Copies of this chain bind each other. A is one copy, B any other.
């Protein structure tokens, strides 16, 4: 229903429901909509490995090749690869930014609440150097459980804990809501 996709529709037909959706009928999930690309785990793994290897903005040529290879695992188009890298890169930065702020906040009030919160989503990747190594992708039989690195170390030099004008109000009571928000 409601075909009003913003902008343009990727696929001409965008076969809804049971319409073929290409041969790579992956995604055993609930609704196998073919509206948008739904990467398989293998595809995600390869893309992630590429990203982790330092590839951030693949060229058109690279995109084509990656897409071509990934099509082995399922239906995929070049633009999917393009978007994937764009999103992945952007979100990494975005997330990193937010987490940093949270950490700053955490430090600001660690005196009161000092419990080891597991920032399980912090990863270093500060400067993904081009690791010139041959990662063994291509898991024909590997089920991609190689998350051998769960390094979630929390080592980063927090910038300056600049004195926040709106520092933590030590009221410690349920303060008036609106007043606290005037800082916005």
B134 contacts A178, CB within 8 Å? Answer: yes
Q: Which residue of B lies closest to A12 (CB)?
A: B41
* 7 interchain pairs, CB-CB under 8 A: A4-B118, A45-B177, A50-B181, A53-B178, A62-B174, A68-B108, A133-B175
Q: A184 and B71 in contact (CB under 8 A), knowing A2-B147, A3-B95, A102-B78? A: no
Main secondary structure of the interface of A (DSSP, over half): loop
Asked whether any CB of chain B lies closer than 8 Å to the CB of A114, the reply is: no
Q: A65 and B2 in contact (CB under 8 A), knowing A30-B16, A177-B46? A: no
The answer, among B64, B119, B178, for a CB contact under 8 Å with A46, is B178
Report B-chain residues with C-beta under 8 Å of the C-beta of A58: 174, 184
Q: CB within 8 Å of B: which residues of A?
A: 1-8, 10-16, 27-30, 33, 41-42, 44-46, 48-50, 53-60, 62-69, 71-73, 75, 77-79, 82, 88, 91-92, 95, 97-99, 101-102, 105, 108-109, 117-121, 123, 130-138, 140-141, 143, 147, 149-150, 161-162, 164-166, 168-184
B132 contacts A175, CB within 8 Å? Answer: yes
Q: How far is the CA of A173 from the CA of B54 in the complex (A)?
A: 9
Q: Which residue of B lies closest to A22 (CB)?
A: B120
Q: How far is the CA of A59 from the CA of B181 in the complex (A)?
A: 14
Q: How far is the CA of A3 from the CA of B65 in the complex (A)?
A: 24
Q: How far is the CA of A27 from the CA of B14 in the complex (A)?
A: 8
Q: Which residue of B lies closest to A125 (CB)?
A: B3
Q: A72 and B28 in contact (CB under 8 A), knowing A55-B177, A181-B65, A183-B140? A: no
B119 contacts A4, CB within 8 Å? Answer: yes
